[in-house]
Amino acid sequence: PTVLFLGADAEGQQPLVSEAVRGEGAHLVDADGTRFMVGLHELAELAPRDIVAKAITRRMQERDAEHMYLDARHFGAR
Predicted pLDDT at 22 = 85
Strands 27-29 and 69-71: antiparallel
pLDDT of 3 > 60? The answer is: no
56, burial (CB in 10 Å: exposed 0-12, middle 13-18, buried 19+): middle
What positions carry a catalytic annotation? 49
22, burial (CB in 10 Å: exposed 0-12, middle 13-18, buried 19+): buried
Query: pLDDT higher for 27 or 1?
Result: 27
Which one of 3.40.50.300, 3.90.700.10, 3.40.50.1820, 3.30.1490.480 gives the CATH number of domain 20-75?
Answer: 3.90.700.10
Global pTM value? 0.75
pLDDT of 12 > 90? The answer is: no
For the chain, domain boundaries: 20-75
